[in-house]
Amino acid sequence: MDDLKILHSDPAIMTNVIKLFQSEFGKEVPLTIMRGKVHDYLGMKINFNAPGKVQYSMEEYVKGVIDEAPDDMKGESPAPAPNHLFTVNTESPIMLDSKQSEMFHHITARLLFLCKHAQPDIQTAVAFLCTQVKAPDNDDYKKLACVIQYLCHTTNMLLTLEADSLQLVKWWVDASFAVHADMKSHTGGVLSLGKVVIFGTSTHQKSNTRSSTEAELVAMNEVLPQVLWTCYFLEAQGYGTIDSIVYQDNQSAVLLERMGMHQAANAHATSTFN
C-alpha cells in the first residue's frame, strides 16, 4: 500500500509508469491517457470529484436508446417492469414481424450494456427481455416499452458508489421459484459495502428446481463465486476483509448450506418437535 501512495503522490513516477505501458501495449494503437477527476470510458462519464464517492452516468447513451425506440414506446414510468414481467402468453401470442423483432433484439442488446455499466436497476427487466429476443410477441414489446419509459423518467439519474468499510462485505441472495415459462427460477444477488449496491446480478437459472428451497440453493451457488472473488480482490488491493456476510430469507436453505443435507434434516426435525 505504501508503494501505491508514493505512486499516486508523485506525478513523475506516474508518468514513467505510463511510458512503460505505452512502450509495451501501445505498439499498434497509442494508449488513450486521461488525467483529472472526470473520465469518459465506454460511453460512461466517471466522476471522482466528490470525496469518497464515484459517480457514473451514461446520459448520452440513454438518450440514444430512447431516440432509437419507436414513438409508441415514449412516455414515463416510475418502474422498469410491470408486476407480470415473467408472465408469458403461451395460448394466443401475437408475434412481432421481422422488422419489429430486429428492433426488439437491437434495443434489448443496448439495454444489456447499459444495465451492466450504469443502471443496475433495470437488470431484472433486461434479464427477462434477453430470454425473449428469439421470438418476441406483443406482450414482450409492451414490457420493453416499460423499460424505455422508465429511462425517460430517470434520464438524469446518476449511479453513485461509496462505502462505509472495505473490510466488511455484505451480500443479499434471493430466488423467485418457477417464475419463468419453462418453470425455471430466477436468481438475484447484490453486494454492499455499507451504503449502495456495488455489484448486482439478476439471472434466469439454468436448471429446474422442485422447491423454493432448491431454488435458493441454486441462487447461492450462482452468487458464491462472486462472493469469493470479491474477497480475493479486496485482499489483493491491500484491504483484508474482516467478514463476508450473506443474507438469505429461506431458513431451510440456510440450514442446508451450513450443515449439509443430513444434519440440516435432523436440526429441522428437532426444531419442529421441540
Taking residues 14-34, report their average pLDDT.
84
| Per-residue model confidence (pLDDT) at position 274 | 39
Domain boundary among 153, 182, 207: 153
Residue 158 in domain: no
Co-location of 46 and 107 in the same domain:
no
Distance CA 68, CA 105 (A): 12
Q: Do 179 and 269 fall within a single domain?
A: yes
Report the run of H or E that residue 42 belongs to, with start and end: none
In eight-state DSSP terms, residue 95 is: B
Residue 1 pLDDT = 44
State the pLDDT at residue 216.
Answer: 96
Is 71 domain-assigned? yes
Residue 229, pLDDT score: 92
Task: Give me the residue label for grid cell 438469505.
Answer: 248
Residue 258 lies in a domain: yes
Closest CA to 230 of 184, 168, 272, 183: 168
pLDDT at 264 over 90: no
Computed from CA positions of residues 151, 127, 104, 140, in that sequence, does the dihedral angle turn out positive or negative? negative
CB 145 within 8 A of CB 73: yes
Residue 209 covered by a domain = yes
CB contact burial 85-103 (16+ within 10 A = b; e otherwise): bbebeeeeeeebeeeebeb
Of 96, 127, 153, which one is at a domain's C-terminal end? 153
The set of long-range contacts for 105-110, using a CB threshold of 8 Å and a minimum separation of 24, is: 105/133, 105/136, 106/68, 107/65, 107/68, 107/69, 107/144, 107/148, 108/133, 108/144, 109/133, 110/61, 110/64, 110/65, 110/68
The cell 438475484 sits on which residue?
188
In which domain, by residue range, is 114 found? 59-153
Give the pLDDT confidence score for residue 7 in this predicted structure: 46
pLDDT for the residue numbered 97: 96
CATH number at residue 268: 3.30.420
**Calpha distance 160→196 (Å, rounded):** 8
Write down the mean pLDDT value for the chain.
Answer: 88
In this prediction, residue 194 has a pLDDT band, given cuts at 50, 70 and 90, of: confident
Express as a percent the part of the chain with pLDDT over 90: 64
In a domain, 268, yes or no: yes
C-beta separation of 138 from 162 below 8 A: no
- Please tell me the total count of domains within the chain: 3
Band of pLDDT at residue 137, cut at 50, 70 and 90? very high
